[in-house]
Amino acid sequence: MRIGSSTEKKDSGRIHVDFAQARTICMSGVSAAPPGPRAATPPIRPRGQTPPPLSSSHSALLEHEAAMLAERLKDDQTFGEATAVLFTWIDRGEVNRRTANNFYSMIQSANSHVRRLMSEKAQHEEEMERAKEAFKSALLAILNQCVFTAATRQKAWDHFSKAQRKNIDIWHKQCEELRSAHSEEIMGIRREEEMEMSEDDSEESPCKRLRSDLNGVCDPPSLKEENDSLRWQLDAYRNEVELLRNEHTPAHTHMPAHTHTHTHSAEAQIQLLQQNMLSMQQ
């Protein structure tokens, strides 16, 4: 140690403390001290001794806190705070052989609460679906029965006042908007299903697609496109044959050989296309 900032030998030195000897002196002084206020000082345990085991009162306190926390885990209002406390206890290393059962009970309570929330969620979803179906059924019943349409007919419309006619007209428009929105929702669901089906078809293996084509299993849109293409080709060949026949009238009995060949080839192609169309229609 050094006194101040001086570096002289008289202002610096060393201090050696023998803890064992100091502890012995302290213990002897405490034992020799007269009874009084200093007698309440707790005895100093020798170094190296393990701490004493927890008393039964501490165990009872822990069980009491665990029971209180388990009750808080069952309450919706305090569930979040209770789970945070439980996580802190587990992360801090409070779980041991003596407290394992208490912590298991608290974890079980948390799991039971989560399962109850999941069941309530499923129940609420079912109730929401039933409410939607009831709303759709009631709306469709009103629209299908043409209540507003019947009210706007001449034999009933004339008996309503101007304000009543205005309200009926507004209500009719609102129901039509709801029906349009409902129809758009249904069409959107159908489009999503068709897109999912098309994605499944696109992901189909080539071997399976080849087997389907060989078996003659094709979707109607592709058949229609192929049929239209063959029909257009057939019409084009027919027009070409008609042009060739018009160019060479019966007066020209001697037609070139290449013209006869071209005409026969066009007629053969027409027959082939007709056969293809018949086979597709079958």
Element (H, E) at 179: helix 162-202
48: left (phi over 0), alpha (psi -120 to 50) or beta: left
Highest mean pLDDT among 39-48, 161-170, 186-195: 161-170
Q: Which residues contact 85 (CB under 8 A, 6 or more apart)?
A: 69, 72
Averaged pLDDT, 25-41: 55
- Percent of the chain scoring above 90 in pLDDT: 0
Averaged pLDDT, 142-151: 67
Can you give the pLDDT at residue 220?
Answer: 58
Averaged pLDDT, 97-112: 84
Contact 3, 12 (CB under 8 A): yes
Can you give the pLDDT at residue 247?
Answer: 61
Highest mean pLDDT among 4-13, 14-23, 200-209, 212-221: 4-13
DSSP letter (8 states) at residue 153: S
For residue range 231-258, list pLDDT tens digits in order.
Answer: 766 766 676 666 666 665 554 444 454 4
Nearest to 90 by CA among 74, 110, 107: 107
More confident residue, 229 or 217: 229
Angle of helix 100-144 versus helix 56-73 axis, rounded to 10: 10
To the nearest whole number, what is the mean pLDDT of the chain? 68
| Residue 70 CB neighbour total at 10 angstroms | 19
Contact 236, 270 (CB under 8 A): no
Residue 23 binned pLDDT confidence (cut-offs 50, 70, 90):
low
Give the integer Cα–Cα distance in Å for 227 and 36: 116
Based on the number of CB atoms within 10 Å of its own CB, is 10 exposed (0-12), middle (13-18) or buried (19 or more)?
exposed
More confident residue, 17 or 152: 152
Can you give the pLDDT at residue 57?
Answer: 42
Q: How far is CA 30 from CA 48, 110, 255, in A?
A: 21, 53, 144
DSSP letter (8 states) at residue 16: -
For residue range 178-209, list pLDDT tens digits in order.
Answer: 777 766 776 666 667 667 776 665 555 555 55
Residues paired with residue 12 on neighbouring β-strands, in sequence order: 2
Can you give the pLDDT at residue 55?
Answer: 38
Contact 107, 86 (CB under 8 A): yes
Can you give the pLDDT at residue 3?
Answer: 76
pLDDT score of 84 more than 60: yes
Q: Phi and psi (nearest 5°) for 203?
A: -85, 0
Averaged pLDDT, 43-67: 53
Contact 73, 109 (CB under 8 A): yes
Q: Phi and psi (nearest 5°) for 2?
A: -140, 145
